[in-house]
Every structure is written in C-alpha cells, then in structure tokens.
Amino acid sequence: MVMNGEAPYLVVQVSAGDSEAAWAIAQTSVARKLAACAQVFPIRSCYEWEGKVVQDDEYLVLLKTRAEAYDRLAACIRELHRYEVPEVIALPIVRGSDSYLRWVDEVVGGGEPQSQP
C-alpha cells in the first residue's frame, strides 16, 4: 500500500569510500534501530566531481527501513559520512513478503505492519 504518496517501506542506499566507513554506517544504523538490516557490497563507481570524470573503488550500503524513519536514518548517515556530498537515496519497497516486513516493523518500530498491495 502506498500511503500519502509514499511507500511505507524503503531501501536506502549510500556509497562510502572504504569498508570501515561503510560498516560504521551499517552497524550504527542497525544498532540505533533506524534500519532493520544493512548489506555492504564492494563496487566500482564512475562519476563527475569538480569538473573531472573519476573512477573509484567504493562500498555500497543498502539499508531496509520504514519510511517514517528516513529522516533520522539520513541524519545518522550524514553524521557518520566522510564525503562532502554523500549519496543518500531512498527507493520504495512496493511489495515484500509479509513476514519480512513484519520483522522490519518489529526492529525499526512504528506500530502496526503496513499492508502491501
């Protein structure tokens, strides 16, 4: 179900410059109950920065959370992140298994599980 134009569950992604930074974001977000789960992947990124095309090894962190926790999660990421302009992108979870989403509700909080379409 999409409520008020917003899906009740999100995958938030953020890239970090090294494994230590990525795991700090992952572990702190879960420990603070801002995300139920975090996964960290090594990636290779290509982007434009200060007029140059740059390629870097980075780490992608995927965090599963409730939409109502997004602002607090994003603030946590900005607090821990070393980049001047960190990537903090929220992608809606439009469908998911009921048992998994109940678990997200239990960990992140926020009351009753949200129904899915």
pLDDT band at 116 (very low <50, low <70, confident <90, very high): very low
Q: Are 31 and 91 contacting, i.e. CB atoms less than 8 angstroms apart?
A: no
CA distance 28 to 1: 29
Residue 80 is assigned to a structural domain of this protein: yes
Q: Summarize pLDDT for 35-85 with one digit per residue, the tens.
A: 999 999 999 999 999 999 999 999 999 999 999 999 999 999 999 999 989
Mean pLDDT, residues 85-94: 94
Residue 115 is assigned to a structural domain of this protein: no
Mean pLDDT, residues 89-102: 94
Residue 3 is assigned to a structural domain of this protein: no
Residue 15 is assigned to a structural domain of this protein: yes
Phi, psi (rounded to 5 degrees) for 102: -60, -40
CA distance 63 to 12: 5
Residue 46 is assigned to a structural domain of this protein: yes
Instruction: Please state the separation of Cα 100 from the chain's center in Å.
Output: 16
Task: Please give the residue range of the domain that contains residue 46.
Answer: 9-108
Residue 31 is assigned to a structural domain of this protein: yes
Q: What CATH number does residue 104 fall under?
A: 3.30.70.120
Q: Are 12 and 78 contacting, i.e. CB atoms less than 8 angstroms apart?
A: no
Domains contained in the chain, number: 1
Q: Summarize pLDDT for 19-34 with one digit per residue, the tens.
A: 999 999 999 999 999 9
Global pTM value: 0.86
